[in-house]
Amino acid sequence: MNSKAVLIKEDYNTDMKHQMQRLLPSLGVNINFADDMWLCDKLKRSPSQLTCHCTLYFSNVPGRFKEIVKYFVLKRFEDGKSFECISSGIRHINTFLIFLIEKYPGLELEFIDRGIILDYKSYIEQSKWQQSTKEYKWGTLNVFFDTLKGWDELPTKNPTVKANPFNRDESKKYDYKYIPEFVLKQLDDIFRRKELPLYQKTMYWIMRSFPSRVSEVVGAQLDCLKPFNGNWVLFLPSWKQNGGYIIPELRTLHMKYEGHCKYLIDLIRGQQKVSKALQHRLEQEKRGLLFTFEEARINVYKYKKAGIVTYDNPNVLHIANRQIVSRLLTNISTYFKVKDENGLIYVITSHQLRHNGITDRLYEGFSPVEIKYMTAQKSDTMILESYNHMNLMPDKIASKQALVHAKSQDADAFTPVYFKGRILNLDEQVEKRLLKNLRTHRLKHGICSDVTSCQNDKRYECLSCRHFIPDANDLDYFENEVLQWERRTEIYNTHPFKLENAIYNLKLNRDIVNRIKEMAGTEAKSI
């Protein structure tokens, strides 16, 4: 390489690094690139989030690799990756860097070859880490070399094996993530006790009733529960699937004021009153969350002496976070002696409640589309591959699905069709009012008669909604959809869950085609 080419490359690398450093002000107010700790306060999503959960730490990264790791972090932010993903990536990359220093002291990253990588693979294989940890460490290393490809400090070619040798595949569905019914029954009984603090019962029953992440529950706003159309709607924020943005998406969960939902609504309304009364004691930026409460501590002395659980109120104000929820679940299992079938204390995690909620709904016949909407997932892959812990027979699933969908269809009083500027199968006066209604929304292939609380962003999700009115002018489109879903039923023939989902969507599109043809035919005769 001649001197001119070297100079151009050096200028390019310098400009690229300066460009990366210009991202720092968007992450935090006072971040200095040279610091070992970056407080990314601008990424803080909620007052309930602890400072340590929006801080990146580089103190354990070997000194001579610290700079390149920081640029890796900035490049990941530029690529739109989440804080959690980047933070864990630092830890996983650091494992490799420490291995490199111990086994190949003095070796620079640019001289790493396939032999060294295979040596590291053996190192991971011989470790006592869980399979998931091994998978993440190898995957992060592959991302590291890919992300910084072309940088002077790294090899020109990624030396890692592309296929992750520690891929868990079906082992992702660990049985321990599903709480046994025997244990869950004990927890349900405990969290219905009158003496249990209100905030503890409310947090548990929200997580128990709706498959939610703990961040969504502790991030709930003070006004998260509102009356709507004779019922109630619970709004929970979701950050996990919204592309890493600080402003969350809102999940809308509709509840009738009866049965278990009545119990949950009363809990939330009670917690709203408590939280509202405590807001004046908080700093302005920490106000507005549902789970603001005075801590209720278990009196350990009385417990050890008499074996009963009582609570003291030290008048200490808290905003719930995931550590508080984790400690709560641990204390409940410990002090109330929640045991598994072998008589051992069983401590659950909040995320296990999400696994149970999704799995149980699959068993009860909810489609992946319906669960996806309920949980704010963007695809059904995680639902089917990671959250499903039941080996259900396909015919059993299909029978439950048929029951659920039959009930849904029975609830529809009419099946209108939009045709040549008119909505068929509706009374003329009703039709005129509907087209003028502000809640009516024109869609690509039809009309939504009520978008008040709709968050659907996928075409096929609307098809199952009673508010969707298909456009007869798009008959060709829906007929093509029928053909596509017919092909998918053949492709997914050996995959029961995906097959069930394909059959479900095939039926939706077929029904719409039949509606359009039937109503268009009736209209033609009348003309």
pLDDT, one tens digit per residue, over 63-77 is 999 999 999 999 999
Strands 231-238 and 225-228: antiparallel
* C-alpha torsion sign, points 432, 437, 442, 445: negative
How many residues are there in the chain? 527
The full DSSP string for 317-380 is: EEE--HHHHHHHHHHHHHHTT-B-TTS-B----HHHHHHHHHHHHHHTT--HHHHHHHHT-SSS
State whether residue 256 is helix, strand or coil: coil
Question: What per-residue confidence (pLDDT) applies to 341?
Answer: 87
Task: For the chain, give every domain's residue range.
Answer: 3-172, 176-357, 392-526
Between 3.30.420, 3.40.50, 1.10.443, 1.10.3470, what CATH number should domain 176-357 receive? 1.10.443
pTM for the model = 0.61
Question: What per-residue confidence (pLDDT) applies to 80?
Answer: 82
Q: In 10 A of CB 144, how many CB atoms?
A: 24
Instruction: Report DSSP state, residue 297.
Output: E
Question: What per-residue confidence (pLDDT) applies to 72?
Answer: 95
Question: What per-residue confidence (pLDDT) applies to 525?
Answer: 46
Q: Distance between CA 109 and CA 97 in Å, rounded?
A: 9
* C-alpha torsion sign, points 149, 154, 157, 160: negative
Q: In 10 A of CB 54, how many CB atoms?
A: 20
Q: Distance between CA 193 and CA 113 in Å, rounded?
A: 61
Contact, 110 vs 137, CB < 8 A? no
The full DSSP string for 382-420 is: HHHHTS------HHHHHHHHHHHHHHHHHT-S---EEET
Question: What per-residue confidence (pLDDT) applies to 473?
Answer: 77
Question: What per-residue confidence (pLDDT) applies to 252?
Answer: 84
The pLDDT averaged over each successive group of 10 residues in the chain (527 residues) is 49 76 91 94 83 92 94 91 90 95 93 93 92 91 91 89 76 64 92 94 93 90 90 85 60 87 95 96 92 92 87 90 93 94 91 82 66 62 51 45 47 48 49 49 55 46 65 82 85 71 83 80 50
Question: What per-residue confidence (pLDDT) applies to 302?
Answer: 87
